[in-house]
Amino acid sequence: MKNLFDHINDTELKVVAAKVFAGSRISGEDALLLYSKADLPVLALLSGTVRRRLNNDFAFFNRNFHIEPTNICVYNCRFCSYHKPQGDPESWEFTHNQMLDIVKKFDNIKVTEVHIAGGVHPLHDLDYYCLLISRIHEHRPEIHIKAYSAIELDYMISMSGLSIKEGLEELKKSGLDSIPGGGAEIFDEEVRKRTCPEKTSSKRWIEIHETAHNLGITSNATMLYGHIETYAHRVDHMRRLRDLQDRTGGFNAFIPLKYKKANNPMSYLGEVSILEDLRNYAVARIFLDNIPHLKAYWPMAGRELARMSLLFGADDLDGTINDTTKIYSMAGAEEKNPEMTTEEICRLIRDAGFKPVERDSRYNFINTFAL
């Protein structure tokens, strides 16, 4: 620790570093200081300290696949490369039977989770989505169903005339186990007005996740970074998540998602550097002291950045995916057909110096692999 403090010339940074080593919570002002002044070696050491305190030397993954019911969406977010209008040659809309066929492809494959999320279809209400979940649950009752972002939930439940609590109760009865973290973007309402003005408000996103947590439905949380937001916007976003986690404890993981520039109206912005990606992972790990896991979603990040992120606080890489998602490949991610075997994921984790652990969707250990 002495060598670290010798490396830090800024007195304020030394105070923040001392808090981290002591296991104390840092403030929003501290997080801004880390974003603006801390160099990468300091951030790696501080975030690694928090990471090991929470998760030792383990790095997690699961065996999963995605279903993306449609990319037809009532919203037209400026950062989105996924949305297509109805009738567009690149649009799709799967039937229940087609989606059940996707599940059946994995009947003889060891998977533990199906992740269901897509566009907000203008005609599909709560009953439609409950029926899909119940059919999947009936076909393969042991699989964990993580489904529907808060944006999808808001629309389908409102369309059905129910309260958020009533709608989530119906989904839970149908077999819903947890919800993903999509749609959070950046919570600041002025940023939302410029990037996704039609979308569910940040207040509503928080309400939906808080209600889910109180019903025993866990969730993840995301943040879309690297566009028009400032460091202050990122810290405000994470502060709201940390406050909610203090109230409910229902978040399993936080997932920073990088804005990708291909095929959307904000492409003129370009993309932030890998160094900024690593800075963001590190500050997130240090600040979000009560969310147990930090995920580097490898289909978005790419394999090399995902590996490096493990040295900057991340402890989870998501899963095998099995080439079942298009959201980031349509936005220009290098992983055009995202799929990794368990052997490939374990090798990536070992190359970063960590111990691979296959987990279930609630981070219970399934299999611990030797270094």
pLDDT of res. 332 = 43
- Residue pair 117/326 in contact (Cβ under 8 Å)? The answer is no
Confidence tier at 134 by pLDDT (50, 70, 90): very high
Q: Tokens 């996707």, residue?
A: 102
Confidence tier at 316 by pLDDT (50, 70, 90): very high
pLDDT of res. 82 = 73
Instruction: Give the tokens for residue 157.
Output: 């439940």
Interval 268-276 mean pLDDT: 94
Cα pseudo-dihedral 295, 301, 305, 306, rounded to 10: 30
Cα separation, 329 vs 311, whole angstroms: 25
pLDDT tens track for 181-190: 999 999 999 9
- Residue pair 220/255 in contact (Cβ under 8 Å)? The answer is yes
Instruction: Describe the strand order of the beta sheet including 365-368 as a list of residue ranges.
Output: 316-319, 58-62, 355-359, 365-368
Cα separation, 294 vs 269, whole angstroms: 26
pLDDT of res. 29 = 98
Interval 219-246 mean pLDDT: 98
Confidence tier at 337 by pLDDT (50, 70, 90): low
58-368: CATH class:
alpha beta
pLDDT of res. 4 = 58
Confidence tier at 364 by pLDDT (50, 70, 90): very high
pLDDT of res. 333 = 45
CA distance to 187, 264, 270, per residue, from 267 (Å)? 21, 6, 6
Query: Of 262, 361, 268, nearest to 318 (Cα)?
Result: 361
Interval 138-165 mean pLDDT: 97
Backbone angles phi and psi of 84, in degrees to 5: -135, 140
pLDDT of res. 328 = 43
pLDDT tens track for 322-331: 755 555 445 4
Beta-bridged to residue 293, according to DSSP, are: 253
∠310-2-20 over CA atoms, to 5°? 50
- Residue pair 345/355 in contact (Cβ under 8 Å)? The answer is no
Cα separation, 356 vs 293, whole angstroms: 14
pLDDT tens track for 58-83: 999 999 999 999 989 999 888 887 77
pLDDT tens track for 284-300: 999 999 999 999 988 88
- Residue pair 300/328 in contact (Cβ under 8 Å)? The answer is yes
Question: What's the gap between Cα 163 and its chain centre?
Answer: 25
Pairing of strands 355-359, 365-368: antiparallel
Q: Quote the DSSP letter at residue 74.
A: S
Mean pLDDT of the chain: 91
Cα separation, 108 vs 187, whole angstroms: 41
